[in-house]
Amino acid sequence: MDTTVLDIRLISREEYEMFVKDKDYNMFQHPRYLRFMEERGYQPRIYGGFQEGTLVIALIVRIDPLMKVFKSARSLREWVTDRPEDAALIKAFVNGLTPLLRQEGAVWLKLESGVEYQQRDADGEIVQGGFNNESYRQLLQSAGFHPEELWSDGLDMSRQARWVSVLDLVEREQPEDGMMHTSFFLQEQPGIRHKSVEEVFNGFSMKIPRHIREGMQDFIVVRELDTDELEIMHELEEASAQVHDFQAPDLETYRAWKHSFGEDCKVMASFLDTDRYRAYLDRELSQGQADLEKAQAELSEAPGSKKRKNKVNSVLEHMRPLEKRAKELDGLIEEYGTMIPLAAGLFIITPAETIYLFGGSRRSLSQFFGPYAVQFEMIRQSIERGALRYNFWGISGKFKPEEEGYGVYKYKKEFGAHVVEYAGEFTLILKPTAAKLIRQLNR
């Protein structure tokens, strides 16, 4: 018999911040996400469950209008608690939460889980002998939730990502179970060894280190954008949206993330410094001209030497693309200016992870490998601050070359990321008659 007794009430932002401090919360459980929702016109609530006076579970809920007359409650990535598998705790919390949400006028509570459903590898295959959290879905069902279908039909911008790519920055003595054991997150978590930058770098696929080295040359500058420079992020995301046919966020969305999350939102960009680049080309061409003159002099001493002819041709082959780049540089400066934006990304920081939420680049300038420079800089920073993982965020859940979204998945996989499948969506009906009516009207 369940004997868990909870006192459930609305709690303040300060209470919530103290509760989640040093815990492994996700982006949508971040205290600053509350401010983001308010800036976007939503109505967030924080509900806390107290056991013998101690806060043991908390949930951020968004209250939205529904068909002008009704309201809907929604929670992204569910509750924060040290006991995510405690059925008695979860049931007691849901039972106490239900009348409070009804008082808000909510017809239902939609919950998108942050618990991993089943363990998958880099290829998207289920790991034999790995964890499977069907029992968690059943736990929520026993608490009154209806589990929705485990969809895998590509990216859906109306939902939070159910499939993501994650790069592990640590090695664990104990295998993961996919649950959110929030109280276990600390820099010195037992049984965990943090990887070095070199270790993570060596785990990339063969071409990624080469692209990173190209993107980290001294004429490529990677830095954080100031708030008044977010137009750069917007322009680069728009450029990618036109190529890959997706809807980019508006400029105000980036501003809202940055303003709400402050230092926990980093907008990083890579630039081509044309002054440094011109100096690099001049050095290379000068050296090439010296090598050519030497090779031609050696050939004149032995005109019939095939080896010396090949050396001359080799030097010429090396110089041709440099000469072409030097000629193109003035046109690039005229079009983009002397400091040319190549790629940018917006990243959200939590104690345990870095989330790559948005990113864009100019395909026409892909030869400078700007996106790789941005990614590696943020991976390096994540390792140095002791994060457990680097979350590349959404993928389609499709893993065959001919399927939609494969290119995005493949790009992230090449950084050593594995596939994460979340446990899906759940609906708690709060007002059955109204819910039935709404569903009939929506048919």
The amino acid present at 233, given as its one-letter code, is: M
Length of the chain: 443
- As a whole number of angstroms, the distance between CA 387 and CA 383 comes to 6
Highest mean pLDDT among 147-151, 153-157, 368-372: 368-372
Q: What is the mean pLDDT of residues 362-380?
A: 96
The pLDDT of residue 441:
85
What pLDDT sits at residue 177? 79
CA dist list (Å): 234 to 221, 237, 241, 281: 19, 5, 10, 30
Non-local CB neighbours of 36 within 8 Å, separated by 6+ positions: 256, 257, 260, 261
Instruction: Look at residue 257 in the predicted model and tell me its pLDDT.
Output: 97
Q: Are 392 and 412 in contact (CB under 8 A)?
A: yes
**pLDDT at residue 17 above 80?**
yes
Is residue 235 predicted with pLDDT exceeding 90? Answer: yes
The residues, ordered by sequence, that sit 6+ positions from 215 with a Cβ below 8 Å of its Cβ are: 270, 368, 369, 370, 371, 372, 373, 376
Whether the predicted pLDDT of 94 surpasses 90: yes
Contact 383, 376 (CB under 8 A): no
So what's the pLDDT on residue 153?
Answer: 57
Q: What is the pLDDT of residue 172?
A: 86
Q: What is the pLDDT of residues 323-340, one digit of tens each?
A: 999 999 999 999 999 999
Burial bucket for residue 375 (CB in 10 Å: 0-12, 13-18, 19+): buried
Q: What is the pTM of this model?
A: 0.91
Residue 420: which pLDDT band, with cuts at 50, 70 and 90? very high
Comparison of pLDDT for 124 and 77, the residue scoring more: 124
Q: How much is the pLDDT for 269?
A: 98
pLDDT of 217? 92
Query: Which residue from 422, 432, 357 is spatially nearest to 393, judged by alpha carbons?
Result: 357
The DSSP line for 338-385 is SEEEEEEEEEEE-SSEEEEEEEEE-GGGGGG-HHHHHHHHHHHHHHHT
Q: Which domains does the chain have, with CATH numbers?
A: 7-190+423-441 (3.40.630.30), 192-272+340-422 (3.40.630.30), 275-336 (1.20.58)
Please report which confidence band the pLDDT of residue 154 belongs to, taking 50, 70 and 90 as the band edges: low
Torsion of CA 245, 260, 351, 129, to 10 degrees: -40
- Pairwise CA distance, residues 27 & 41, whole Å: 18
**Mean pLDDT score of the chain:** 92
Quick one: how many helices (H) and strands (E) in the chain? 13, 18
* pLDDT at 183 (0 to 100): 46
pLDDT at 188: 58
| Mean of pLDDT values over 54-73 | 94
Q: Where are the beta strands (DSSP E) in 162-311?
A: 163-168, 170-172, 192-194, 220-224, 265-273
Amino acid occupying residue 343: A
Banded model confidence at residue 405, pLDDT cuts 50, 70, 90? confident
CA angle 357, 152, 24 (to 5 degrees): 45
Q: Are 356 and 321 in contact (CB under 8 A)?
A: no
**Looking at 189-235, which runs of residues are DSSP E strands?**
192-194, 220-224
Nearest to 166 by CA among 418, 401, 367: 418
- Given pLDDT bands bounded at 50, 70 and 90, which one contains residue 434? very high
The region of weakest confidence among 22-31, 125-134, 409-418 is 22-31
Segment 177-234, tens digit of pLDDT: 777 655 455 555 678 899 999 999 999 998 999 999 998 899 999 999 999 999 999 9
Asked if 298 and 290 touch (Cβ cutoff 8 Å), the reply is no
